[in-house]
Structure formats: structure tokens, C-alpha cells
């Protein structure tokens, strides 16, 4: 009886101590998901099919966190603009291109990128499987335990292994794409270093309803840690 009680308490402790934002199996430690950033646009002719595929990928693979990031360079006019297109997302894609592309500055949509380092080149329907297999061989990432203080500001504690001043810390505002397990990025801003972690004041937080934090190598580059609140 006592052994059963101890086992129950241990299981509960595992649930309570799991980092906020990602589900975990009570029988195993929580794991950081593979982060799939897909750059897309309303007016990109090949994006609807790719978005449909990635919605299915998110549904079938619980270890993935799929993000739709809308660029603005496909906008046709002031009257024909992607309502989710963001210049900061366009800049993020170009920054990735400068570190990952064989031709720096070359971008395309749809463009899925796994953990900031594995690019699924077109045609997506044929290249995705091999890209995902490579992604699952990447080293495990850290899970971040995010919190907000009384003022609503975001606190981001960083393990010692992530405190290099060279690492980039990005805060995204994300919302679920209705009827799917995909998330849409509504904004992205860099966090400010503070003590042994990072911080972002409430006034600077991007629109949610959820917040996602990525710690990355410079570039941005490889995703080293992820947290959601």
C-alpha cells in the first residue's frame, strides 16, 4: 500500500514539474518538440497544398510543433495583402537564407525549416520525409520553464549551457490555426538579457494568445531550447 502511494506521488510530481506548454507522457520525461517553421503566404500559388500537407503532418506527429510564418513579399497591392504577413517574418526568412542557402539571399515559399537547421527543399511532397528523418536525429533540446511576473512581463530562466551572449533569444506570439494542430505566428521580437536569463516587458510582448520562446545559435541558426506559455 505504501509503495503504491509513493508511486502515485512520484507520478504526480512528474506532471507538476513538467515545463509549461508541452504535453508529456507521465511515464517519461517531457521532451522538447521539433520546431517546424514554414514560411508561407496567402498569395503564394503553391502554399495552399503545402499548408494542407503540413496540417496533416502536425496531426500525425505529436513530437512536432508546426508554425505557419507569413511573409509579406507576395502582397500584390495595398488592397491585396496577406492579413497575416509580417515584415519581421520576411526578414527572419532572409536571415535564415544567409546562413543556410547555397545562394545567400535566395528565399522561396513554401519553405519548411526544422529546428532552424534542416531545410525541406522543393518539391515538398517528395523531400519532406527525408528532412523529417534527419530532424529526428538531431540532439535533444532544452525545455524552458517560462513565467510572467505581476506586471505581466515575461521571465525566461536560462540553464548555464545556454547563457552564451552569442545565442539569440526570440519571443513569438502564436495562435492556433482553427481546426488544426498548427500554430500561426502573429509577431516576433528579441528578448533582453537579464541576470542568468532573459526578460521582455509586458508592453513589448507580441500578440498571443500563447507565447513561444526559441533560443538559437547566431544567424538565427540551430534551435537549442524551446518554451511555451
Q: What is the pLDDT of residue 24?
A: 43
Examine the pLDDT at 8 and tell me if it is beyond 60.
no
Examine the pLDDT at 203 and tell me if it is beyond 50.
yes
Distance CA 140, CA 154 (A): 24
Q: What is the pLDDT of residue 167?
A: 97
Distance CA 141, CA 194 (A): 22
Examine the pLDDT at 5 and tell me if it is beyond 60.
no
Q: What is the pLDDT of residue 29?
A: 57
Sorting pLDDT into bands at 50, 70 and 90, what band is 103?
confident
| Dihedral angle of Cα 115, 127, 72, 63, to the nearest 10 degrees | -40
What distance, in Å, lies between the first and last C-alpha atoms of the chain? 37
Answer with the residue of higher pLDDT: 92 or 104: 92
Among the residue ranges 9-18, 71-80, 139-148, 189-198, the one predicted with the least confidence is 9-18
Among the residue ranges 23-27, 43-47, 126-130, 205-209, the one predicted with the least confidence is 23-27
Task: Say what the pTM is.
Answer: 0.86
The position carrying cell 512536432 is 64
DSSP string, 145-204: --EE-TTS-EEEE--GGG--TTSEEEEEEEEEPTTSS-EEEEEEEEPEEETTEEEE-GGG
Sorting pLDDT into bands at 50, 70 and 90, what band is 147?
very high
For residue 92, report the phi and psi dihedrals to the nearest 5 degrees: -60, -40
% of the chain residues with pLDDT over 90: 74
Among the residue ranges 90-94, 105-109, 139-143, 201-205, the one predicted with the least confidence is 105-109
For residue 185, report the phi and psi dihedrals to the nearest 5 degrees: -85, 125
Answer with the residue of higher pLDDT: 184 or 21: 184
Q: What is the mean pLDDT of residues 39-44?
A: 96
Among the residue ranges 47-61, 111-125, 141-155, the one predicted with the least confidence is 111-125
**Which domains does the chain possess?**
34-135 (3.40.30), 142-173+186-228 (2.60.40)
Q: What is the pLDDT of residue 127?
A: 81
Degrees (nearest 5) of the Cα angle 130, 217, 21?
Answer: 75
For residue 216, report the phi and psi dihedrals to the nearest 5 degrees: -135, 155
Please give the DSSP secondary-structure letter assigned to residue 24. Answer: -
> In whole angstroms, how far apart are CA 212 and each of 83, 117, 154, 205, 223?
21, 18, 11, 11, 12
Q: What is the pLDDT of the chain when averaged over all its residues?
A: 87
DSSP string, 73-125: TT--SSSS--TT--HHHHHHHHHHHHHH-SSTT---SSEEEETTTEE-PSSHH
Q: What is the pLDDT of residues 163-173, one digit of tens each?
A: 999 999 999 99
Distance CA 116, CA 73 (A): 21
Strands 142-143 and 223-228: parallel
* CA-based nearest residue to 40, from 30, 51, 29: 51
Examine the pLDDT at 3 and tell me if it is beyond 50.
no
Q: What is the mean pLDDT of residues 154-183?
A: 96
Amino acid at each position: 500500500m505504501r509503495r503504491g502511494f509513493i508511486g502515485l506521488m512520484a507520478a504526480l510530481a512528474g506532471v507538476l514539474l513538467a515545463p509549461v506548454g508541452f504535453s508529456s507522457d507521465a511515464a517519461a520525461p517531457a521532451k522538447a518538440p521539433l520546431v517546424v517553421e514554414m514560411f508561407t503566404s496567402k498569395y503564394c500559388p503553391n502554399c495552399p497544398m503545402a499548408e494542407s500537407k503540413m496540417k496533416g503532418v502536425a496531426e500525425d506527429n505529436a513530437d512536432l510543433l508546426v508554425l505557419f510564418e507569413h511573409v509579406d513579399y507576395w502582397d500584390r497591392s495595398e488592397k491585396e495583402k496577406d492579413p497575416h504577413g509580417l515584415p519581421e517574418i520576411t526578414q527572419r526568412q532572409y536571415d535564415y537564407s544567409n546562413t543556410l542557402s547555397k545562394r545567400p539571399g535566395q528565399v522561396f515559399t513554401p519553405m519548411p525549416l526544422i529546428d532552424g537547421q534542416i531545410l525541406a527543399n522543393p518539391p515538398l511532397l517528395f523531400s519532406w520525409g527525408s528532412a523529417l528523418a534527419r530532424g529526428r536525429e538531431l540532439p535533444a533540446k532544452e525545455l524552458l520553464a517560462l513565467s510572467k511576473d505581476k506586471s505581466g512581463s515575461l521571465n525566461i530562466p536560462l540553464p548555464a549551457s545556454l547563457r552564451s551572449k552569442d545565442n539569440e533569444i526570440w519571443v513569438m506570439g502564436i495562435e492556433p490555426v482553427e481546426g488544426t494542430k498548427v500554430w500561426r505566428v502573429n509577431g516576433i521580437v528579441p528578448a533582453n538579457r537579464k541576470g542568468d536569463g532573459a526578460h521582455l516587458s509586458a508592453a513589448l510582448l507580441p500578440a498571443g494568445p500563447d507565447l513561444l520562446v526559441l533560443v538559437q545559435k547566431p544567424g538565427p541558426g540551430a534551435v537549442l531550447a524551446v518554451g511555451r506559455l
